[in-house]
Amino acid sequence: DFTDSTDWIDTSLPAFEPLDAALRCEVCKEFYNNPVITSCAHTFCSLCIRRCISADGKCPTCKNMCQADKLVMNIAVREVVAKWADSRKDALELARKDKEIPSEGGKKRKIDETDLEEEQEPVRQTRARSTRSGRSGSSQKTYETVVVPDSEEEDDEEYVPSGFAKCPICKSSMKMELVYDHVGVCTGESAGRTTRSRESTAFPKPMQTRPKETAPPPTRLSGLNYAMLTETALKKKLRDLGIPSSGSKPVLIRRHQEWLNIFNSNCDAADNVRKPKRELLRELDAWERTQGGQASTKNSHIMKKDFDGAGHATIHKSQFDDLIAQARAK
């Protein structure tokens, strides 16, 4: 079941559409997954932006150069997205139901208001008569005034007679010259009446503590200088990481880059959703079969950093013009 921000347009809460869109990644159009913020202050899914940086080294939004080691976890956005995703389904169902109800209910309200206007005057007269009768009846009754004395516990607890002082442990009042000796033997129990504990007025523990990251994230992997490594040395690096080491050097480079993206994006996840290595290896295998060494690389030059976009557009301008004309004709 795919979700989209436009789901809110035909509901009673269309204003939620831009909110829903703001919590989605501009690359994959899904809710942020392990969101990170770039040096140019744009937020993306960790895996999405890392793949973009591997492809051309630029921010997808502003096209400024950015680096993977400059990415920072956006914990606030991560928490907002998690809460929104949990409540979105129920909120959307309620908004759709509210959109379907008003047409029939509106007619009923109009009829009820008309009937109310016709009966309004008799109701006022009846209410006035009942009020007068209530007043006459109430005049025959007498009420006894009950005085409730204020609690003097607060005042007594704070009041200290002249020449006396309170023990800082048990809060008992005594002569000032006796306090020093009393503190040395005080057991903490008040000799007088029991007073309310000051600890009871403190904030409850849930208000004092906030959940924190229980463990630091695993160490992120750093990139390699592929030009300085031979194919044999690169294969050894991949074996040390526990990933497949078969294929030519270009395939090994792409596989290593994708593993860096998958592994490091997992480091940006919260502790409770961080994936084990075996699951990351399954993701690498899925990438291998669809985009990696086992996939066709015929048009991969388009995603290279040195790809000439302007020259490509000039060469294929006629084809682009034909496509634009066909789209406008529809």
**CA 106 – CA 101 distance, rounded (Å):** 9
The full 3-state SS of 36-71, as one line of letters, equals EECCCCCEEEHHHHHHHHHHHCECCCCCCECCHHHC
Q: What pLDDT was estimated at residue 217?
A: 64
Tokens describing residue 1: 């079941």
pLDDT beneath 70: ranges in the chain: 1, 101-161, 189-217, 293-307, 330
Q: Please, what is the Cα angle at 297 between 295 and 298, to 5 degrees?
A: 130
Q: What pLDDT was estimated at residue 74?
A: 94
**CA 320 – CA 314 distance, rounded (Å):** 10
Q: Enumerate helices (H) and strands (E) in the chain, giving the number of each.
A: 13, 5
Cβ atoms of 54 and 261 closer than 8 Å: yes
CB atoms within 10 A of CB 264: 24
- DSSP code, position 29: -
Closest CA to 88 of 34, 37, 25, 21: 21
Q: What pLDDT was estimated at residue 147?
A: 52
Q: What pLDDT was estimated at residue 149?
A: 52
The 10s digit of each residue's pLDDT in 198-219 is 444 444 444 444 555 556 667 8
Cβ atoms of 275 and 266 closer than 8 Å: yes
**CA 217 – CA 25 distance, rounded (Å):** 23
Q: What pLDDT was estimated at residue 315?
A: 86
3-state secondary structure of 124: helix
Distances (CA, A) of 174 to 115, 181, 187, 188: 76, 11, 15, 15
Cβ atoms of 174 and 167 closer than 8 Å: yes
